[in-house]
Amino acid sequence: MTPEYRTDRDQTARLAESRLPARSIYLTRDQAVRWLEQLNRLTASDRTAADLREMRNSLEEACWLARWKREEVILEMCPSTLASVAQRLMQITHGESRIGDLHVLEDMIEALSWFDHHGDR
């Protein structure tokens, strides 16, 4: 079943405001699936995680597009979202009620933090 194709207006508005280009994160299909599963668990348990839901929606769309094009998954994110998601994931990994797979969380934090400091690869 294909996910509903939608444009994230909040992310588009932030990109227009900041005038900074989106960051492209290249993921293998397996890596993208693990990230998407992790984000689904996190957003199901935390209804206030708008930044995580935004990332999940963007990743879901990127996975669908990659499957259709038969190529790697390219997740495009606003730089300000990268920082807020990385910070939230750090809080989750250090919290008492850690949700999900620590290895996947660490992989996500490492990738998002790298882009926060270095930009596109």
Q: What is the pTM of this model?
A: 0.72
pLDDT greater at residue 102 or residue 8: 102
31-56 pLDDT tens trace: 999 999 999 988 887 777 888 999 99
Helix or strand (DSSP H, E) at 31: helix 29-45
User: Which residue ranges make up each domain of the chain?
Assistant: 23-118
> Is the distance from CB of 22 to CB of 15 less than 8 angstroms?
yes
**Residue 10: band (very low, low, confident or very high) from pLDDT cuts 50, 70, 90:** low
- Are 68 and 35 spatial neighbours (Cβ–Cβ below 8 Å)? no
Cβ contacts of residue 98 below 8 Å, gap of 6+?
A: 92, 105
71 against 58, higher pLDDT: 58
Question: What are the pLDDT digits (tens) for 96-117?
Answer: 556 668 889 999 999 888 754 4
